[in-house]
Structure 1
Amino acid sequence: MAQAIDMSAIEQALTGFTIPPQPEILQHIQQQLDMPEPNIKRISALINLDIGIAGFTLKVVNSAFFGLRRKITSVEHACKFLGVNRVIKLVRSVLLRFTLAEGCNDKFSLKMWASALQTANIAMTLAKHFNFSQDIQDDCYSLGLFHNAGIALIHQQVDSYEQTMQQGLQQGRGYSEIEEQYFQTCHEVLGYLIAESWSLTPELCNVIAYHHSPALMLESDSELEKQLFALLKLAEHFSGESRQLFNITLDPEWEQHKSAILDVLELEPLQLPELAELLHRAQVSTIYSV
């Protein structure tokens, strides 16, 4: 596991911010999951209470990224066909997006969630291509949507977030360095707190906490953490995340650690265009197809 989060850093990062609590719907679903025999009808009914959440969940399940040969027509059908735990992971990610995006329709917020969704889809597609387990594939989707959740919290309170970050990144500075100087917090720690509060696995929480600290993550003694981290960074690279969010064409973090990240996935740089073509066939745009 990666090193534990410094509690003093958490206290400082939280100053002036409120971590959105896990919605009641997830708490009620968890109560069902903790029962000896979870009631799928009851779980499906809880999800269906919010038409927007249920509809978006079915849209994702029926997308090309899940690669299902038959169309899923209801939440209950999804629970029976995919398994309750897979559906709940997806619902949790969808709920996070709806919760943090509520009332935020400015240009940067829309860009951020579009980028997160693209990163999630790429990470899940790559995990499937590399024959990682179903759990890792699903975790990659959650990781893609959750990893920048802390940015949403900062941006909600700081209108100048995009401009400040753009200027700092153009100077070659790191995300956390810029955020800590100007906002007295960083989106990695805030994202970690959100992920922990929303009951993501310890491995996912750790990757979110250190996703801009490649040297630390690549030295983790957890192979799962390193794999999730590598898949996330590769997905960020393919999506051109820094370009989408801050119009930064160079990504020093990727260039500096690219070889080590690819080593985790047993890849060579020359294979990247081939993977980009794979993603293109899966209807995902990348920096290689722009």
Structure 2
Amino acid sequence: MAQPLDMNAIEQALKGFTIPPQPDVLLHIQQLLQQPEPNAQRLATLINLDIGLAGFTLKVVNSAYFGLRTKITSIEHACKFLGVTRVVKLVRSVLLRFTLEQGQQQDPFSQKLWSNALLVATTAATLAKHLDWSQETADDCYTLGLFRNAGIALITAQANNYTDMLRLGLLAGQGYSETEEQRFATCHEILGYLIAQSWGLPAEICNVIAYHHSPALILASDSELEQRLFAMLKLAEHMSGESRILLDLTLDPEWDQFAPQILDVLGLELFQLPELGELLHQHDIKNIYTS
């Protein structure tokens, strides 16, 4: 498992930032899950209390990742068809977006940030299923894709020039975290870790979020799951063209430096990526190999 974050560093990172608490509905849902046999109808009732949450959850359930032949028309149907655990994981991710967007103006970058998060999450989970990873691990890939940049949402709420600052840093050869720490004395990796931890995500996902811009460290983790989650995340970021979407840059320094190790973890070769791009295209998932 990756080295735990230093608590002094965490306290320093939180200066000027507030980690959003879990919404009440998520707390009620987690209490429900602690029961020996969670009631699917009760879960559906809790989700349906918020029309926006229910509607967006159904939208995601019917998206390319789930690839369902039959359209899911209600939360009750989703619970029966997907199971309570998968629906709860999905709802947690949807609530994250709603919570971080609450009371904030939807600027163009924030819209791109969330749409790209969904693209990376869908790409990672689809590829995980293609590689015959377990459904639980594929769902973890999906959750990781949605949560890993949550810290950026906290930073951009205070810095209108975030994208310009980050773009200049990358062009100067700096990494994401290095550029952020110079300006804010923290980085979105740590903030994202704190959000994921406080929202009850598994330790492995939290750790990957904490080090997702520190490839050398996470690839040296003694946890095979952490290595696999990280490698799939980086492959999904690369194939989605994340730096081009978010920053209008073709630079992808982490991939350029660590692609051999990432692909080795996944048991893939570089020449296979266009074929994977075609697979994603068949699932209506945009990627750099077919666009």
TM-score, normalised to structure 1's length? 0.98
1:13-32 CA distances to partner (integer Å, 9 max, x unpaired)? 10000000011101001111
Q: What CA deviation, in whole Å up to 9, does each residue of 1:126-153 have, x standing for no partner?
A: 1111111111111111111100000000
2:16 matched residue in structure 1: 16
1:28-59 deviations in Å (ceiling 9; x for gaps): 01111111222221111100111111111111
Structure 2: how far apart are the matches of 1:68 and 1:109? 29
Point out the more displaced range, 202-211 or 64-73.
64-73
Q: Which residue of 1 aligns with 2:84?
A: 84
Distance, in Å, in 2 between the alignment partners of 1:97 and 1:48 is 17
1:200 aligns with 2:201: yes
* Partner residue, 2:189: 188
Q: Please state if 1:4 is matched with 2:7.
A: no
Query: Following TM superposition, by how much is the alpha carbon of 1:256 offset from its aligned partner in structure 2, in angstroms?
Result: 0.3
After TM superposition, the structure 1 = structure 2 runs for residues 100-179 of structure 1, keeping only pairs within 5 Å, are 100-102=100-102, 103-179=104-180
2: CA distance between counterparts of 1:272 and 1:37?
A: 42
1:190 is aligned with what amino acid? L
Partner-residue secondary structure (3-state), 1:255: helix
Show CA shifts across 1:192-211 (max 9, x none): 00000111000000000000
The code of the aligned residue for 2:175 comes to G
Query: How many angstroms apart in 2 are the aligned matches of 1:104 and 1:218?
Result: 37
* Equivalent position amino acid for 2:288 in 1: I
Q: Which residue of 2 aligns with 1:247?
A: 248
1:169/1:248 contact within 8 Å kept: no
CA–CA distance in 2 between the matches of 1:238 and 1:196? 28
Contact 1:123–1:144 (CA under 8 A) maintained in structure 2: yes
1:26-65 aligned within 5 A: 26-65=26-65
Counterpart position of 2:288: 287
**Alpha-carbon distance, 1:79 to partner:** 1.0
Taking the aligned partners of 1:249 and 1:121, their CA distance within structure 2 comes to 21
Output the aligned Cα RMSD.
Answer: 0.9
Q: Which structure 2 residues correspond to residues 229-268 of structure 1 after superposition, within 5 A? A: 229-268=230-269
Deviation of residue 71 (structure 1)?
2.2
Secondary structure, counterpart of 2:157 in structure 1: helix
Percent identical: 68
- Greater CA deviation, 49-58 or 190-199? 49-58
* Paired residue type of 2:182: Q
- Gaps (5+ residues) in structure 2? none
SS at 1:157 equivalent? coil
2:270 counterpart letter in structure 1: P
Name the CA distance, whole Å, in 2 between partners of 1:253 and 1:33.
Answer: 38
